[in-house]
Amino acid sequence: MGSEQQPITFGELTEVDVRKAWPHEAHDFTPWLAENLERLSEVIGIHLEAETIEAQVGEFRGDILATGPEGQSVLIENQLEWSDHSHLGQIMTYLAGFDARVVVWIARDFAEPHVSAIQWLNRHTENEFAFFALKLRVVRIADSPLVPIFEVIAKPNNWERQVRDERTGSRAENVKRYREFWTHYARRHPGDGVKANHGLANSWISPRKEAPTISLAFSYASRHAGIFFTTQPQRGFSQDVLDGWLDKHRSIISNRLGRQAHWKNFDTHNRENWDAICDWLHEKLEQYLSIIEVDPGQAGQTSGMGASVPSASAS
């Protein structure tokens, strides 16, 4: 007979204060989340690509602006404390300012009125909108590494079925359209650095100078196109370096563009409009590239629209 089986020993799961993991929301948690969006994607069931952190609408700043698999804007608002009315109001402001279709509100915990507000929004808005309330937890067993957990408190009805249908149907169709559109763009404006046959809603242009990447967006499902500077660290540049660049160029961006992000509605389903969409994005890209070439100390002078040929960065 074999030896007796040894009893199994289980550890005890303990809760840890979220601020032990991230002391500061803006400096610690938001950058961490932007670099680890796959954790959030697993929870809500859709792939997310971070575009901008601390995106500005008026006097407010949204924590993270991301792009969903259909090219839709996804707003992520963070709190390391309990939910409050102030953040609920800010979310409604950002919803309009960023033309967001998916809103993810993350907090240490949620007051019942705020859960009810998210549930009400899911019941009374069209199917293209989705609102989530996620409780942020941090746990560990004994001296194990800290483990972050996103617990779903509120989400749209039938969300899993909707995501499954999109993955098997419209998602594949949209990827096909993205490839066709960016191929069309690359042929029409070959010097812009856009890669043909690119299967995502966004195509990223990385100038050769130390400056933010430029994101071109073609949202087939939401029927709009857009362009904006991303503020995620890239190519070895720190967040502080990119934030410093934006601070120095903020007045130039405001004077030339009016807003940091440019969006325009198009009937993206009609291929006859694709030339106009490509030309509009090309014109805006030239404006963005010209800003990169400007010396902030000479901001009062008019700079040429020409710029060195950029390289494409598509992921």
Sign of the CA dihedral with 111 first, then 112, 115, and 116 last:
negative
**Would you give the end-to-end CA distance of the chain in angstroms?**
58
- What whole-number distance in Å separates Cα of residue 248 and Cα of residue 168? 45
Residue 119 has which token pair?
């549930």
- What whole-number distance in Å separates Cα of residue 150 and Cα of residue 38? 12
Average pLDDT rounded to a whole number, residues 271-279: 96
- Please spell the DSSP secondary structure of 132-155, one letter per residue: EEEEEEEEEETTPPPEEEEEEEE-
Q: What are the pLDDT digits (tens) for 123-175?
A: 888 777 889 999 999 999 998 999 999 999 999 887 655 565 555 555 567 77
Q: What are the pLDDT digits (tens) for 56-88?
A: 655 567 888 888 776 678 899 999 999 999 899
Confidence of residue 105 (pLDDT cuts 50, 70, 90): very high
CA dihedral 75, 134, 137, 48 (to 10 degrees): -40
Sign of the CA dihedral with 38 first, then 45, 104, and 217 last:
positive
Is residue 107 scored above 80 in pLDDT? Answer: yes
Q: What are the pLDDT digits (tens) for 181-230?
A: 999 999 999 999 998 888 778 888 877 666 778 889 888 777 888 888 87
Decide: pTM greater than 0.85: no
Question: Order of strands, edge to edge, in the sheet holding 311-313?
Answer: 261-265, 224-229, 214-219, 202-206, 311-313
Residue at token pair 């991303």: 230
CA-based angle 256:259:260, to the nearest 5?
95
Residue 229 has which token pair?
């500077």
Alpha-helix runs per DSSP H in the chain: 18-21, 30-35, 37-44, 85-97, 112-124, 159-168, 170-188, 239-257, 274-293
- What whole-number distance in Å separates Cα of residue 58 and Cα of residue 94? 9
* Per-residue confidence (pLDDT) for residue 217, from 0 to 100: 87
Cβ-proximal residues to 239 (8 Å cutoff; 6+ apart), any chain: 31, 53, 231, 233
* Per-residue confidence (pLDDT) for residue 256, from 0 to 100: 76
On the CB side of 189, how many CA atoms lie within 13 Å of its CA? 22
- What whole-number distance in Å separates Cα of residue 219 and Cα of residue 294? 30
* Per-residue confidence (pLDDT) for residue 141, from 0 to 100: 92
